[in-house]
Amino acid sequence: MNNLVDLDAAPALATPTRARRTRILPVIIFAAFALVPLALLLGPQSYVLAVVTRIMILALGAMSLDLLIGYGAMISFGHAAFVGLGAYSVAILASHGITDGFVQLAVALATSLIFALFTGAISLRTKGVYFIMITLAFGQMLFFLTTSLAAYGGDDGLTLAARSTFFSLKFMKNDLAMYYVTFGTLLGAYLLLRAIVASRFGRVLRGIRENPVRMEAIGFAPYRYQLTAYVIAGLIAGGSGFLLANQTEFVSPAYTAWQRSGELIFVLVLGGLGSLHGAILGAAAFTLLADILSHYTENWAMIFGPILILVVLFVRGGINGLFGGKP
């Protein structure tokens, strides 16, 4: 019987050099993101700013998924549902004239919380492949729900009347402000997840990933910890949906499609599982690759698909593994 997640594929315990690298690489990544706008002062800003913002939003969703797959060995194939919930919360409220960002964010997080509690509580009763499939099914449920929202665009989706306002200020309208709000959220989520992974809770979660029966035998009931992780990941992904709607000023059922969930997993594995910052590397590589390839040929997917297969077959540990080395 195969393991769900091959433990060797994720980095092992920190050795001294590894520990230093894992500390330095994230600092470099975030410093680079912080400085991107400055470097662009001379050139054409808006396109590049938008691409990098998109990368950060995608990274946020993939990073939250890392808590589940990389640290908890829970392969959720329905994570895009949360992104969709966050995005639709913004768009639906905005279509009713409620553009206050705090209200929208509160609703986005509340719906993500409820959906995560409900679907997680059922999904986590199952194991292995059944878990993958049931999360997929819940994702599809939400997908069909969004396609049937005739009042909010149905299949065609819904254009955002306006970006969110905070304290009645429309500063999100400014792409640079949007950029730094996204940057701040990503940094915050990264630091939060980093702390969670190292905390008592995170240690239990990692222990369950390695050997759930052993964990039960010393008195930890896996279900409660896994459900909590599922909810945390759902909330962060919901937050990324809030940003996504603002950035694209558009939402559609495609945001919740199962292919999007597959993309999130791909981004994560491409960047490197179980490192958190790997999700950022993966998001950057994925987005840039897709952008560059689509620039040259409309059949970019024919190149993209094989790349995915080759990455799975030959690049163990993802991009982060290439940087940090593996045991």
Partner 1 sequence: MSTALLQLQNLTKNYGALRVTDDVSFTVEPGELHAIIGPNGAGKTTLIHQISGHARPDSGQILFDDHDITDLSMAARAQRGLVRSFQITSILPRFSALENVALAAQARAGSSFRFLGNAAEEPELNDIAMGLLTRFGLGARAHIPAGQMSHGEKRQLEIAIALAAKPKLLLLDEPLAGTSRDESQRLINILQELRKELPIILIEHDMDAVFALADRVSVLVYGRIIACGSPQNIRDNAEVRAAYLGEEAA
Partner 2 sequence: MTLTLALVQILNGLQFGLILFLIAAGLTLVFGVMDFINLAHGVQYMVGAYFVAAFTAMTGGFFTGLALALPAALIFGLLLELLIFRHLYDRDHLDQVLATFGVIIFLNQAVKFVWGAAPLNVPIPDALSGAIEITDGLLYPVWRLIIIAVGLLVGLALYLVVNKTKLGMLVRAGASNAPIVSALGVNIRLLFTIVFGVGAMLAGFAGAMIAPILSVEPGMGDNVLILAFVVIVIGGIGSIRGAFIAALLIGLVDTLGRFFAPTLLRALLDPSAASQTGRAIAPMLIYILMAAVLFFRPSGLFPAKK
Closer residue to partner 2 (CB): 69 or 108: 69
The listed partner (partner 1, partner 2, none) that binds 132, CB under 5 to 8 Å by sort, is partner 2
Q: Which two tokens stand for residue 104?
A: 């929208």
- Interacting residue ranges for partner 2, rule: CB under 8 A: 1-6, 9, 69, 75, 77, 119, 122, 125-130, 132-134, 136-138, 140-141, 144-145, 147-150, 258-259, 262, 265-266, 269, 299-302, 304-309, 311-313
CA distance 178 to 180: 6
CA distance 210 to 71: 9
What is the smallest separation between the CB atom of 241 and partner 2, expressed in angstroms?
20
DSSP per position, 271-324: H-TTSSHHHHHHHHHHHHHHHHHHHH-TTTHHHHHHHHHHHHHH-TTHHHHHHH
The listed partner (partner 1, partner 2, none) that binds 284, CB under 5 to 8 Å by sort, is none
Judge contact between 105 and 174, C-beta under 8 A. Answer: no
The listed partner (partner 1, partner 2, none) that binds 144, CB under 5 to 8 Å by sort, is partner 2
What is the smallest separation between the CB atom of 116 and partner 1, expressed in angstroms?
16
The burial of 94, by beta-carbon neighbours within 10 Å (0-12 exposed, 13-18 middle, 19 or more buried), is given as: buried
CA distance 103 to 90: 9
CA distance 241 to 233: 12
Closer residue to partner 2 (CB): 49 or 311: 311
- Judged by CB under 8 A, the chain residues 7 through 46 that form the site for partner 1 are 7, 12-13
- The residue behind tokens 């499609």 is 257
The listed partner (partner 2, partner 1, none) that binds 12, CB under 5 to 8 Å by sort, is partner 1
What is the smallest separation between the CB atom of 299 and partner 2, expressed in angstroms?
5
Residues 78-117: x/- map of binding to partner 1 (CB under 8 A)?
A: ----------------------------------------
The listed partner (partner 2, partner 1, none) that binds 174, CB under 5 to 8 Å by sort, is none
Distances (CA, A) of 279 to 36, 96, 134, 162, 271: 19, 35, 24, 29, 5
What is the smallest separation between the CB atom of 130 and partner 2, expressed in angstroms?
6
What is the smallest separation between the CB atom of 228 and partner 1, expressed in angstroms?
7
The listed partner (partner 1, partner 2, none) that binds 259, CB under 5 to 8 Å by sort, is partner 2
Residues 42-61: x/- map of binding to partner 1 (CB under 8 A)?
A: --------------------
- Judged by CB under 8 A, the chain residues 197 through 236 that form the site for partner 1 are 198-204, 206-207, 210-211, 213-222, 225, 228
Judge contact between 250 and 159, C-beta under 8 A. Answer: yes
What is the smallest separation between the CB atom of 135 and partner 2, expressed in angstroms?
10
DSSP per position, 68-121: HHHHH----S-THHHHHHHHHHHHHHHHTT--BHHHHHHHHHHHHHHHHHHHHH
Distances (CA, A) of 281 to 9, 211, 273: 17, 29, 11
- The residue behind tokens 């410093």 is 31
The listed partner (partner 1, partner 2, none) that binds 210, CB under 5 to 8 Å by sort, is partner 1
What is the smallest separation between the CB atom of 30 and partner 1, expressed in angstroms?
20
Closer residue to partner 1 (CB): 228 or 294: 228
- The residue behind tokens 């009645």 is 168
Q: Write out the residues near partner 1 by the rule CB under 8 A.
A: 7, 12-13, 195-196, 198-204, 206-207, 210-211, 213-222, 225, 228
